Structure 1
Amino acid sequence: MVQLILTILIYLIMVIPVGIYVYHIAAGKHTFADPVFDHVDNVIYKVSGIKKDKGMNWKTYAIALLATNGVMILLGYIILRIQSIPLFNPNGIGNMEESLSFNTIISFMTNTNLQHYSGESGLSYLSQMLVITFMMFVSAASGYAACIAFIRGLAGKTKDNVGNFFVDLVRITTRVLIPFSIVGGLLLVWQGVPQNFSGNVVVDTIEGAKQIIAMGPVAALEIIKHLGTNGGGFLGANSSTPIENPTIISNLIELYSMMILPGACVITFGKMVRDRKKAQQAENGELAEATTLRTRRSFTAWMYGREGRSIFAAMGIIFLIGLGVCFWSESQGNPALQEIGVSQSMGSMEGKEVRFGIAQSAMFTTTTTSFTTGTVNNMHDTLTPLGGMIPLLHMMLNVVFGGKGVGLMNMIMYAILAVFICGLMIGRTPEYLGKKIEGREMKLTALCIIIHPFLILSFSALAIALVNVLPDNNGLTNPGFHGLSQVLYEYSSSAANNGSGFEGLADNTMFWNITAGLAMFFGRYLSIVIQLAIAGSLMKKRFVSESVGTLHTDTASFAVILVFVVYIFAALTFFPVLALGPIAEHLTLWA
């Protein structure tokens, strides 16, 4: 418990300055790094023909994002299909098969990084760098750019300008992802993570056998996979292997890397909305009040912004509940082993690394599926039923911080739903951030929220229905309750753009590659387009004055309302299938 509390406290201390830094980048304000990065950015703009002062409306922004990602999908697919060429390929890796190439390129361009292959045997160093590592930067930057545009739309300083996608893509890459990756990568090298172009090393073990030790540019991929909430491992065993994650210090570096930017996006949101409110106060002749806003508020309200604080609190509550359940469940051990006299004093250690133990394994598990990263330092398929239900549930919710700003955007969908429900209770038109929520916004919000469970449940139903029909679809290694959990996890991970898996599922077949690829594609791009449309709709509306009937969305009570709305929606959509999977497995195991 002390480990978990200290880990969270250190994170809260770290996330505030990073959030303020990201806010300055998103809002176009001065930062200490401008003298260096302005020159770098201007060179990129000049070479690429980017007009940095040209704004875009939400439609143009969405088209630019989709087109850019589409071109990179095509180029990446080609590289995977010809990776056998003798260029950065000392291990002689062959070309990747068609359906697997489709799944892999969709996976990495949508920031999912679901791997139906083992990295050390499925990819050449050329593919690891030009496809995997490169797309980890671009896909993460694309997601953060969409989140920043979404925030600009909600802040509503203009009627039709959410920024320039190409400028946002460049600034996030050069000012956040690259410098943070250089620092984090060097720290990982310091801890023993390899960074070279050597071929694999064959060594003699203590038992006298031969073992192949993978080499390559591991540290470079390792840091961006966490920082960009990507998750795909250089090795098949991911961050549970000592090559990717050798020490408890490297474990903490990777843990904080995947937590820092999603949390920073919430702070950025709060501060940008606060700026808009201050500007409104100044326009309304309340300049004195606006200028003293910082001194009159509490420290947390100033650092996070009031709106950001309530969103952050709601996410934090759900995260802590999930972490507590996962830690408790794994600490209970396995009753089947207890019955035959196997000691479970350390809890359920199956599939976990001794150097991390229960606490850091539960923390990593909850974090990687809350922040939709997908990296693992233990095998999720061997978690206890309730311990495995938490990562599954958090991917189904897809609002607990999330990766690349996704959690924030999805949580705001629930915030809009919450103010609508509360408005119905008192017979008042709902408002959010000073704008009326009307029919168009509610239809788009409902559509955005329902897409995620629809993808998960429909593809899972299809897989279960065809399990004994298609010759290559019998990937279930557990026919009972756990088999259903494996299928649910596969499509929850795909639709949430997470990438982790219950690896007992034999998923490298035509059926799994195509269906998971489609779930990843639609789960990523449909949501982004709809959310940008909502932001574009709200930014054109006039601000309405607050009254005694206005529901304040910057309070602790609204954070609690938001948590209940999220859990109620989850219960209505996912409880039946969870009851047939992990809950039934838990009841059977402990019967």
Structure 2
Amino acid sequence: MTLVGWAQIALVLGAVLALAVPAGRWLAALATGRLGPLARLDAAILRAAGVDAAQGQDWRGYLLAMLACNAAGFALLYAILRLQGVLPLNPQGFDGVPPWLALNTAVSFVTNTNWQAYSGEAAMSHLSQMAGLAVQNFLSAATGIALAFAVSRAFAGGGLRALGNFWADATRVTLWLLLPVSLVAALAFVAMGVPQTLAASAEATTLEGARQAIALGPVAFQLAIKHLGTNGGGFFGVNSLHPYEGPSALATALQIVLQAVIPFALCLAFGRLVGDRRPGRALLAVMVGFVLAGTLAVYAAEAAGNPLHLAAGLDPALGNMEGKDVRFGQALAALFTATTTGASCGAVNAMFDSFTPLGGLVPLFLIQLGEVLPGGVGSGLYGMLVFALLSVFVAGLMVGRTPEYLGKKVQAREIKLAMLAVLVLPATILGLAAVSMVLPMATASIPGAGPHGLTEMLYAYSSAAGNNGSAFGGLAADTPWLDGTLALAMMLGRFAFVVPVLAIAGSLAAKPRMPEGPGTLPAHGPLFAGLLAGVILILGGLQFLPSLALGPVAEHVVMRAGQTF
């Protein structure tokens, strides 16, 4: 680790936090509909679309509207992928996507996972990229933020029957946040050298004199929204390691800023919506603390390097550079890794399969902690609020009184629903991974033996259920079994989690908001932040520690004994 590396990390995180303040202010305005000079235009657009923003929906109505929107998005994307071979804007002449892969991909992009069992430049036409994948990048991100608005409103008032209007929320988020910011970011990426063209490829002559076709396409706009919406994936198979997606350290820094700013800003927006900015800052502090801890852990593990390489006489100062871009180094790779897996963005700028075992453990564990650190756009906030309810419940058990959070009594119904939501992730990950590790048709996809193979399988289902979408690498995922079960994990991780969360919001919204009493645990300050961080760690550790011990921890032990996989 170097001073220059830490300076890079500090500058990028400082930029994220600085931008999160005005972004939080704007997100709060979108949630309340106070759009200033845009109000008339917004009202005209909603009226033309047949949406009455004043017509509120209870939690069931909000849930059904969200599910209907996502079901329509899935059907449209699946049709585009299957019919790709006969649709226009296909200069490469790609055939339609096979049924299982089309199912997996459509579910992946609708659920904000963006898991890719294919290489984009070798499988997807320009139409599929633009009208299919990019559109779902917007809609899935807008869905997450809209759900965060609905849950936030439940804490903001008392005696409420409605959580807002899903159609109005999703439209406003798309039109007045995601679209304009993506446009500006895309133009910035173009200026940095990222292609944005309908051409299929460029011809180049290599140093040996051979002719090579370099894939091109509408990359910049897809790159902008996939990071801003914490969607992940990529136009190219290797994501930001490709020189057209990661042309410079500045472009990499901008990608980190985009994928972290909205999840952080939503905490500040939550504080504004509930009328007390301190609880939002407490949530933000926990998120930032985990991002810093994850960055430190990856940076330290990769800077220490592989002891087998050091024994062979390699320079210790180099650390482990395998799978990383020498232009970015270990510092930006560590920060990118912590934010992309903590923020539910599956894009990568380094190959986790080439990390040291402990370096690879960190992104896996960040996903397994619930994708709340800071989590996806919207999903990170409402996931963190579930943990906040569990934290005040634990505190209530300690002092023997009914727990409260922001003036709302947290009772048995809310805690049962919260536990139901929290258990979705481990049940899905561990259940499907366990079955896959004993089925020959699944284990045939694992190229490596021993604990590394277990880590690859465990990471795949963790990434799918956590709606992250990043891949550990090495796993041959495009098989009917993995395409189908990973799609199932994505749907459970997204929608089976959302149902109890919205039910909690509906229950809390109907309750009156009471003033804090002398026995109330303040939802801010070091004590609450420490309790919240502890609950997140304990739940993650107790559920996943045994599997981690058999995977990356065991691999680290045998690596030190001289064995690799």
The TM-score normalised by the length of structure 2 is: 0.96
Paired residue secondary structure (1:84): helix
Which of the residues 437, 450, 462 maps onto 2:435? 462
Q: CA deviation at 1:48?
A: 2.3
Aligned alpha-carbon RMSD (Å):
1.3
- Tell me by how many angstroms 1:346 deviates: 1.9
Q: Choose the corresponding residue for 1:330, options 302, 316, 319.
A: 302
Offset at residue 86 of structure 1 (A): 5.0
Deviations 1:469-508 (A, max 9, x none): x3x6510011111111101110110011110001200111
1:7 matched to 2:12? The reply is: yes
Shift of 1:3: 1.5
Query: SS where residue 243 of structure 1 aligns?
Result: coil
Between the aligned partners of 1:69 and 1:81, the Cα distance in structure 2 is: 18
Deviation string, structure 1 residues 267-286 (Cα, Å, up to 9, x no partner): 111111126xxxxxxxxxxx
Residue of structure 1 aligned with 2:417, choices 444, 449, 466: 444
Residue 34 of structure 2, aligned match among 26, 29, 35? 29
5 Å matches for 1:327-406? 327-397=299-369, 398-406=371-379
1:252 alignment counterpart: 253
CA distance in 1, matches of 2:253, 2:345: 15
Deviations 1:217-252 (A, max 9, x none): 000100000001011100101111111110111111
Q: How many Å separate the matches in 2 of 1:86 and 1:368?
A: 33
2:212 aligned counterpart, secondary structure: strand
Q: Which runs of 4+ in 1 moved over 6 A?
A: none
1:366 alignment partner, SS class: helix
CA–CA separation in structure 2 for the residues paired with 1:482 and 1:211:
35
Q: Which residue of 1 aligns with 2:390?
A: 417
2:144 is aligned to 143
**TM-aligned CA distance change 1:264 to 1:158, over 3 Å:** farther
Aligned partner of 1:265 in structure 2 is: 266
Match of 2:288 in 1: 316
Is the contact made by 1:86 and 1:92 (CA closer than 8 Å) also made in structure 2? no
Kept after mapping to 1: 8 A contact 2:158/2:512: no
Rounded to whole Å, the distance in 2 between the matches of 1:433 and 1:115 is 40
Instruction: Give CA deviations for 1:545-583 in whole Å, capped at 9, x if unaligned.
Output: 422211111122100111111111111101100000111
Please show how residues 549-588 of structure 1 align to structure 2 within 5 Å. 549-588=519-558
Task: Give the whole-Å Cα distance in 1 for the aligned partners of 2:205 and 2:316.
Answer: 33
* Match status 1:180 vs 2:153: no
Contact 1:473 1:509 in 2 (8 A): no
**What does the per-residue CA deviation read over 1:523-558, in whole Å, with 9 as the maximum and x for residues that have no partner?**
001111211110110111123342221111112210
Deviation per residue, 1:186-213 (Å, 9 max, x gap): 0000000000101212311112233221
Please give the alpha-carbon distance, in whole angstroms, between the structure 1 residues aligned to 2:545 and 2:271: 32
Say which SS state the counterpart of residue 437 (structure 2) adopts. Answer: helix
Amino acid at match of 1:474: A
Q: Please name the residue that 2:381 is paired with.
A: 408
Q: Which amino acid aligns with 1:246?
A: P
AA paired with 2:379? Answer: V
Q: Gaps spanning 5+ residues in structure 2: where?
A: 1-5
CA contact under 8 A between 2:157 and 2:512: conserved in structure 1?
Answer: no
Distance, in Å, in 2 between the alignment partners of 1:268 and 1:14 is 13
Equivalent in the alignment of 1:547: 517
Most deviating of 536-545 and 140-149: 536-545
Q: What do the CA deviations read for 1:328-349 (whole angstroms, capped 9, x no partner)?
A: 0010111111222233422110
Q: Which one-letter code corresponds to 2:8 in the other structure?
A: Q
Partner SS, residue 144 of structure 1 = helix
1:476 pairs with 2:446 = yes
The question of whether the paired residues in 2 share the 8 Å contact of 1:156 and 1:538 is answered with: no
CA distance 1:45–1:548, shift in 2 (3 Å): closer
Cα separation, 2, equivalents of 1:212 and 1:206: 14
Match of 1:294 in 2: none
Deviation at 1:590, TM superposition (A): 2.1
Matching of residues 145-294 of structure 1 within 5 Å: 145-274=146-275
In the alignment, which residue of structure 2 is the partner of 1:117?
118
Instruction: Quote the Cα distance in structure 1 between the aligned partners of 2:150 and 2:221.
Output: 28
Contact 2:437 2:443 in 1 (8 A): no
CA distance in 2 between counterparts of 1:214 and 1:512 reads 28
Q: What residue is the counterpart of 1:289 in the other structure? A: none
Correspondence for 1:290:
none
CA distance in 2, matches of 1:16, 1:152: 20
CA distance in 2, matches of 1:207, 1:351: 25
**Contact 2:12 2:256 survives alignment (8 Å):** no
Q: Please tell me the residue identity of whatever aligns with 1:577.
A: S
Structure 2 equivalent of residue 506 of structure 1: 476
Larger deviation, residues 331-340 vs 166-175 = 331-340
Q: 2:279 aligns with which of 303, 307, 318?
A: 307
- Aligned residue type for 2:528: F
Query: In 2, distance between residues paired with 1:543 and 1:231?
Result: 38
Contact 2:107 2:490 in 1 (8 A): yes
Query: Aligned pair count?
Result: 555
Gaps of 5+ in 1: 276-304
Does the CA-based 8 Å contact 1:494-1:519 persist in structure 2?
yes
For residue 350 of structure 1, give the secondary structure of its aligned residue in structure 2.
coil
CA distance in 2, matches of 1:244, 1:423: 49
Residue 318 of structure 2 aligns to a residue in which SS? coil
Tell me how far apart the structure 2 counterparts of residues 233 and 250 of structure 1 sit (CA, whole Å). Answer: 14
Which residue identity is paired with 1:263?
Answer: F
Partner Cα distance (2:108, 2:527) in 1: 38
Q: Which amino acid aligns with 1:72?
A: G
Q: TM-score, normalised by structure 1?
A: 0.92
Deviation per CA, 1:104-148: give whole Å up to 9, x if none. 000000000000000001111110111101110111101111111
